[in-house]
Structure 1
């Protein structure tokens, strides 16, 4: 059956055939199937080490090389599952020097895995230029989905997830941070931000000031860990909650989209015409209705009129 787990081998049996690559889950050992040569983008847990996929374990068990941000952090995860691949550090300070070596390994037909300290690589972590270079050289690049703080926070925020903008970390300096928030203010999407604990209070205060204290939001902290918490409320309420606190751990801020602006007839026609260039009337009306919070049926009738050319 598709998705079946590889054949289980007990520790005693593993000792007899220990030359075969594999991994441990608890007291049990499993043989690992080696994937095709290429660069594998492997998601790792954001806290709970149990959040590993079987594909990720098999790939790390059989990889010729694992590129990671910090070998000490990655080694903790590998030791949990009895994995002993060859590690190489790949981070923003040595990427230019290490990238050619990794590309050379790929050119030799090796299996190379890229991991970050936590979560999915390339999401506020190094790796983009390596993927870009590997793809340009014609090497196979394969995603191994898994843990992501961005998605974990979004799905527990109780905020709209149909249109989302991930904006990474806000600038550390006050004026630059406030300018960035003002740029994000009109974006018609749920915003997802990462923030460090010691800047949470300042950032929430600036977000409430620039986006409006009533805008709905959520702060997710220590996701998947023992002291995980998600606090929902308005930006004003959240700013007040953390004004005098010193939280710990990884933090994600999720902010609901701005309230729909009042649109006049000309604005509605303009939006419908633009949508009709891409979509049939029904879907065009649904898209504009979602953006404006307006009645879809009325917009559908107007879209049919515009489509028929009965108005200038």
Structure 2
């Protein structure tokens, strides 16, 4: 009887030890995947990594990042290593596990590889032609794989799509065309059309985009305001970084009053809580701010 009890106790102890070892290994791997700092000097990459649960993301130009994300992210999850470019000494001190670059940053890859493994994100959504929304989804999945956060990437995609469906149900079905612009000065603008995040989100919300002209890889064209004269659409202005308040002055401008939306007084000015060529986090913040504005009656 004592011998049998001894055998049972030994087997039970081995089983308990095996369980502890399994959870110790699993916890260590999970901790490593979320706590290893990753350098990302492109806003769409950086904001997506934060949403995927990477606890420390190394960026440049923190003030600009905070402006275009509406201060959505805790300072504890962000480290800055230079302005306007990365300070190599600071970057070496932070010691990132890897550096992820956008295609437009490929020229920096060799230099940054001296600090940590550096790679260009092939699934970057604004480097090839095709459906922007699908590219944003593939971009998110790709970053999840690179950051070893694939479950979090799946969750982010599902959560974003669920939220957009909810927002779409709040949008009127008359499909009044929207004209998305960003003011460069009182006479010149960026107008967003095909290949833009704004257009992709509009389609997800069931909204129409009035601009059908050519656009660049970021989805906008830079034109004079006269190109918008007589366009029957509701004007949606995205606040600029250095706008000096010109968005609020257009209603008093004789030039801008050629636009029907300005004459009607139903212009929408959106806050700078999203990047115009961002990832899914920016896409959702844009959608939320747009739908909220559409639900707000114009001021008399």
TM-score, normalised by the number of residues in structure 2: 0.28
TM-score, normalised by the number of residues in structure 1: 0.27
More helix by share: 2
More strand by share: 1
Which fold has the larger relative contact order, with Cα–Cα distance below 8 Å and residues 6 or more apart in sequence? Answer: 2
